[in-house]
Every structure is written in C-alpha cells, then in structure tokens.
Amino acid sequence: MQKETEIKLRVSRETLAALREHPLLKKRNKSGWERRELMNQYFDTPERDLARAKVALRLRRDGEEVIQTLKTRGQSVAGLSERNEYDWNLPKAKLDVKKLDGECWPEELAELDKKTLKAIFTTDFVRERAEIAWGRGKAKVVIEAALDFGHVIVGKQKEEICELELELREGEPAALLELAAELAATLALMPCDISKAERGYRLYDANSYSLSLPAPQISAETPLDDAFAALSWHLLGSSQRLAEQYRFNGHWRLLQDWVENLAELRALLSSLGQAAPRQSTHDLRVALDALLEDWRPLVQAGQDDEDVRKAAPEQFLEELEDPRWGLFSLNTSRWLLARTWAADRNTRGNRQGAAQLGSWLPRLLGEEATSLQLQRYQQQPEDLAEQLPRIERIQAWMHHARNVLDIPEMDRLYGELNKLAQLAHEPITDESLDARKQQAIAVYQNRAWKMLLRM
C-alpha cells in the first residue's frame, strides 16, 4: 500500500500544450516527457456499492502491463487529495477478486458479493508524464507531473479529460500547491478534486454525483483558529465542486450557491479581529471582492431575468478560461495550509485564536447585533444595505456554528436574518422599503436576537 497525495487541475487543450513548454517545468524536468496510452475499466456493483463507500476499483492497461488498482476512502480538501492506493500487476486484463482481501478491502464492504462487480465505464487517455524535482530550502521535492488528454466513456456518452495532475513523490504537500500556484499565475488552472472515476459515475447516473462535502466537525470546545480553518477549507472545497458542476450542467442554483460560498468565506475573513490581522488577509479579501463584484450583481439580476440565467453559463466558462479563479483557489489553499493569519499576530491575537468557540462566538455575535442598530433601520429602511457586511458576518457564523450556542430559537433567527439580507440586496421600492421595515422588526423581536443583545 502507498499513500497517494496529489492535486488535479482542469485545463483547456491550449493550456495543456502550454504546460508542456512552460519554462518552470522545463527547468525542473529531470526525465523528459514520457508518453503512454492508458486504457482503464472501472468496476462496481449494479447498486454502486463501491461508489457509496468512496472506493475506486479499476483495471489499467499501460503498454504491455495490466495493473489492478484499489483506491480507498481518503480525504480531499480544495483540490488536494490524500488516499490509500493498492496496486497489483496481473498476467491478463481480467479482474482478480482474490486480491481484494481483508488487508485492503474496506470493512464496510465485507459482506459484498464480489462476483457482482462488473465494468461500468472506461477512461481512455494519453498521459505525458515527467519527474519534476527541485530544492526547497534544505529539502528535496520530487513531483510527478502528468498531462492527461482523452475521454471518460459510458456507453454512447463521453466527456473530455483534459487535466494536469501533480503527484507528490518526495517532500511536503505544500510544495504541490506552490508549484501549482506558480503555474497558475499565467495559465488558467482549475483545482478540481473530482476524480476520473467520479466523472464516470456522473455520466453513468447524474443523480449519483454528490456535490456536498462532509460538514466540519466543530464544537463549543474547538479553538477559534481550528474552527476558522475547518470552515474555510469546507467553503473553499465546496466552491470548487460547485464551479465544476456548474461548468458541467449550467444549473442556475449551482451558480447561486457558488456566490454564496464565496460571500461566506469573505465574511469569515473579516470577522476574526486581532486573531487574523488585516494585513494577513488583505490579498484574499481583495481577490474575493473582485469575484463578488463581478458575480453577485449577475446572480441578483438573474433571479428575475431568464435571459441573464441563460447567458450565465457561457460567461462562467470565460471566467474559468482566465487565471483568476484557479489562482485564487490555490493561493487560498496555501494560505490555509500555512495558517498565515496566525504567523505575525500579537499576544492578544494569539490568545483570541486559542479561545474556545463557545466563549468567543457569543461575544462576537453580541457585538455585531448591537452594532447593527436594527431599531434605526425600522425608521430608515432605505439605508439597510450599508449594514450588509455586518449582517453577512452574523449569517456566516450562524449558518455553520449556531450549534455551539446555548440559545433557543437560533434556527428561526437564522431564517429571519436570511430574509433581511435578501431584502437588503433588492432594489428600493415603496413595497421593498415596507418589507425591510417589517423584517427588521421581526428580527429585533426574535427571542434569540434579544439574548444576543445581552451578551
């Protein structure tokens, strides 16, 4: 068994060609590009038991070699994935279920009848791979770079494979992200933790593809630094999956959710006070503001305009053809992995970062609720939009961490606050002003809100 640590980056055909000649890869290329044709069959039961267990089982023909591979459940965060991988060389292209014993086979599939496994889709592609190596401080880094071009094939359906895959052979995972970010500075590279197997399942049965990632496990005892990191990784990873799926099918709701994820990440970044000094978050806030400035008005306009919704998928493809999205994703991953926000803060900031969420969050929400001055906006509803950054900070923490608060009716308050935020985004009319006023009253009179004001 070996531990596989890699990052997948979706690219265009033009970018794939540019990567082959990229000066950085040329300088560090120790082997030259080796070209191989890879033909792969993926196996599962008719009920897709392996997919549900996050297991991939394939046969690969690589030249004269036949390799059976089992990849078991691992973790994938914002494009950077780690999972266990088992390989067996076989004499012929026939699945050998005897290799799938208790040493490698997941316990949750122990009762599975392996005779029900059958090939359900194929991925056939040309891979050009090279060994990329350089010195990083006193340590050596070795990465296998693979340029893959081909197709996922399910019956008569197929989807193009066009990606750069970077797999760590020696060194720290941060080196993968550093190399990817350097390449993404001038080329459109889209971090994408959707494997070739997942793409096959998506073609095989669109309903089998799950966008959602496991919710972060945070509690009242979780230190603020850890809670912030977990939520930020979750939002970044979710935004990448939403971007990929919207690129794939153009469903409007996915674009709305993508913008919402970015807005929540922006709100979290500006909520930490001295635990995340403004200088440490500056570049990410600027990048997020630029994305939101372009996409939030479009999503707002598209709520009532079908023409805007129809045009949006093409506009989103143009976004993905620009380096901006990929570079933001990779830089944010590097920032989170290094915990850059904690690097140069003062003693008070360190103390705040170590505070338990159950004691820090009520204080934050209490301060924000008091500063919101809802009574004022009952009288001046036309000015409510000026408080959107504060409302969104409250929303983001309530969305993901209200379970740590010992306050009744938090779910109801969260719903009422969402309505208020939506009204604040809408154009001003006599009707909307009255609705803002009534909703400000509804939030102000909420039992949980009154408790926050006393924090």
Each residue's pLDDT tens digit, 394-453: 999 999 999 999 999 999 999 999 999 999 999 999 999 999 999 999 999 999 999 999
Does any domain span residue 378?
yes
**Exposed (0-12), middle (13-18) or buried (19+): which is 92, by Cβ within 10 Å?**
exposed
Does any domain span residue 297?
no
Q: Distances in Å between the alpha carbon of 234 and those of 106, 213, 256, 299?
A: 25, 7, 17, 22
Write the DSSP symbol of residue 382. Answer: G
Mark which of 210, 237, 272 sits at the end of a domain.
210
* Structural element, H or E, at residue 423: helix 410-425
Beta strands 139-154 and 118-136, pairing class: antiparallel
Q: Predicted confidence band at 194 (pLDDT cuts at 50, 70, 90)?
A: confident
Count Cβ atoms below 10 Å from residue 19 Cβ, excluding itself.
19
Count Cβ atoms below 10 Å from residue 123 Cβ, excluding itself.
25
Mark which of 185, 210, 235 sits at the end of a domain.
210
pLDDT at 162 over 80: yes
Average pLDDT taken over every residue of the chain = 93
3-state percent breakdown (helix, strand, coil) of the chain, nearest 5: 55, 20, 25
Helix (H, G, I), strand (E, B) or coil at 218: coil
Share of the chain above pLDDT 90, in %: 83
Mean pLDDT confidence for 367-391: 97
| CA 188 to mean position of chain CA atoms | 17
Q: What is the C-alpha end-to-end distance of the chain, expressed in Å?
A: 53
Does any domain span residue 346?
no
Does any domain span residue 226?
no
Mean pLDDT confidence for 294-309: 96
pLDDT at 344 over 60: yes
Q: Looking at per-residue confidence, does 259 or 51 come out higher?
A: 259
pLDDT at 74: 65
Count Cβ atoms below 10 Å from residue 397 Cβ, excluding itself.
24
Does any domain span residue 299?
no
Q: Predicted confidence band at 1 (pLDDT cuts at 50, 70, 90)?
A: low
Show Cβ contacts of residue 357 under 8 Å, excluding neighbours closer than 6 positions: 218, 219, 220, 221, 222, 223, 224, 227, 401, 404
Token pair of 44 as six digits: 């599962």
pLDDT at 76: 61
- 8 A C-beta contact, residue 114 and residue 19: no
Q: Predicted confidence band at 40 (pLDDT cuts at 50, 70, 90)?
A: very high
Which residue range(s) make up the domain with 50? 1-210
Report the alpha-carbon distance of residue 103 to residue 229 in Å, rounded. Answer: 34
Each residue's pLDDT tens digit, 123-160: 999 999 999 999 998 899 999 999 999 999 998 999 99
Does any domain span residue 122?
yes
How many domains, in total, are found in the chain?
A: 2
Report the alpha-carbon distance of residue 162 to residue 244 in Å, rounded. Answer: 13
Does any domain span residue 311?
no
Each residue's pLDDT tens digit, 66-111: 999 998 876 665 556 667 889 999 999 999 999 998 888 988 998 9
Report the alpha-carbon distance of residue 350 to residue 357 in Å, rounded. Answer: 14
What CATH number is associated with residue 154?
A: 2.40.320.10
pLDDT at 164: 97
Mark which of 161, 190, 210 sits at the end of a domain.
210
* Phi-psi region at 215: left, alpha or beta (left = phi > 0; alpha = psi -120 to 50): beta
Does any domain span residue 59?
yes
Write the DSSP symbol of residue 356. Answer: B
63 closest CA partner among 45, 98, 88, 38:
38
